[in-house]
Amino acid sequence: MYIIPAIDIIDGKCVRLTHGDYNQKKVYNENPVEVAKEFEGAGIVRLHLVDLDGAKAKHIVNWKVLERIATQTNLIIDFGGGLKSGKDAEIAFNSGAAQITGGSIAVKDPKTFEGWMEQYGAYKIILGADCKEEKIAVSGWQETTELNLFDFLKDYTAKGIEYAICTDIAKDGALQGTSVELYKKIRSEFPDLHLIASGGVTSMDDVVALKEMGCYGAIIGKAIYEGKIQLNELVP
């Protein structure tokens, strides 16, 4: 299982939110490149980079941060947050993203999202399946839909999606543990999906549980920044 630290960007700085709330923001580092280099130095190979300004603006904003991390490290970066158009996808890939994540667009503009899969290959596109009580949430989690998580995953796996990041918003940034039962259910129903678990990973017990159920990756944010999990524990 890949350990995938998260760097969330607002105003070019590395921040973390609680439950996706922009009013519950904490700045951890003014320079995200320094943070990325620290991760790489510890043996991390993948990075989850989120443009929170982009998620709010509904178009890519912090592509220069992506470009700097991509040129100054060898990390495999998946990039998301506000990607809404072919132009956004093009900028992200040209700036060094190995994969891009689309959440809101997969709900609101499936034609464009499926176009990305066709143009770049399904292995380069990650489905962002963010949810609250198994209902899909969009627009930087500002809006919860009536769309069922499992119906959403079923629809896109049928269309050829291979990777999905699933975040339980109720858990994200709260440091109260991750949604183990939810991920077990997803793994059971979609065994061929490369499932990346996200939200609430707080301890090595969470990491071990996700690994044992066969998750492809685990995204970890606040637990690393707050020192709940040490990088040397994650990369022996």
**Catalytic residue positions?**
8, 130
Buried b (16+ CB within 10 A) or exposed e, 170-184: ebbbbbeebbbebbb
Residue pair 104/75 in contact by the 8 Å Cβ criterion: no
* Closest C-alpha to 172, from 34, 10, 3, 8: 8
Please give the Cα distance from 49 to 51 (Å, whole number).
Answer: 7
CA dist., res. 148 & res. 154, Å (int): 10
- Identify which of 88, 71, 87 has the alpha carbon closest to the alpha carbon of residue 79: 88
